[in-house]
Structure 1
């Protein structure tokens, strides 16, 4: 098992036994998966169909703060599972189907991370955009 998959947050995600073809890690997760940051803060997961139905068995869905989607905060907030990711910009199917696969887990494309972090523009997002630029991403 890789260091990425051994991380406690990833272990919690994998413990849900979501079908891997039906979810993708978003937020800062793609940077963490590449080793560009050491602490993702939490793991944001975009889930559809079977993965969303399984995740809902583990918590109460509430409205997400930044978009018209539902989210589940699991494991004390260390894991957030959402049924979409800024649906006014991306379809959940596109995000998941076009995701990069790292260690057998889907992670949304870096272009999605850049667009999301530019949109939110919180201090941590600006820091992550700088890190991505240092790794050759055009931000």
Structure 2
């Protein structure tokens, strides 16, 4: 049974922040959750600019990104992490936000970007996600490593 994202506590918390959807995009594994490709969702990774970023800087707890060491701000007891950019300079924040896909009024990174990101990191926990993303996006599957 598929439920609306507004019933999930993390998305309710995100909505309660009142951020302008034109100033952020949800990345990480959350787009897979929104597309019913995973049932796992422990936190939200948000890339923000403008007022959305200023809100996080003002109301969030400062932290450091685990992949890049970049500054980020933790909201909602650390379950929502807001950063100014994604994991490397090749991910342009404005471009990511402009290409976001709205699902239940929430801007998500496209699945093709999620696949690219997970392939870039290739963490042990990403294997199942990568296979699911290849199946959903129809991208040609690379040879086994």
* TM-score (normalizing by structure 2): 0.86
Which 4+ stretches in 1 moved above 4 angstroms? Answer: none
Q: CA deviation at 1:104?
A: 1.4
| Residue of structure 1 in register with 2:23 after alignment | 22
Q: CA deviation at 1:112?
A: 1.5
Per-residue CA distance 1:3-55 (angstroms, 9 max, x = gap): 21220011111111111110010000111111111122211111111100012
Which residue matches 2:92?
91
Q: Distance in 1 between matches of 2:65 and 2:133?
A: 25
Residues 59-78 of structure 1 deviation map (CA, whole Å, 9 limit, x = unaligned)? 23233121253211222332
Q: Which residue is equivalent to 2:14? A: 13
Question: What CA deviation, in whole Å up to 9, does each residue of 1:86-110 have, x standing for no partner?
Answer: 2411110000011111111110112
Shift in CA distance, 110/60, structure 1 to aligned 2, threshold 3 Å: same
* Gaps in structure 2 of 5+ consecutive residues: none
After the TM superposition, which of the residue ranges 69-78 and 112-121 deviates more from structure 2? 69-78
Equivalences for 1:94-133 in 2 at 5 Å?
Answer: 94-133=95-134
Structure 1, unmatched stretches of 5+, are none
2:51 & 2:138 partners in 1: Cα distance? 33
| 1:37 corresponding residue in structure 2 | 38
Question: Pairwise CA RMSD of aligned residues?
Answer: 1.7
Partners of 1:68 and 1:86 within 8 A in 2: no
User: Could you say what secondary structure the match of 2:73 adopts?
Assistant: strand
- Contact 1:68 1:87 (C-alpha < 8 Å) held by counterparts: no
- Aligned pairs, how many? 138
TM-score, scaled to structure 1: 0.89
Q: Paired residue for 2:74?
A: 73
C-alpha contact 2:56 2:74 (8 A) present in aligned 1: no
Inter-partner Cα distance in structure 2 for 1:104 and 1:76:
23
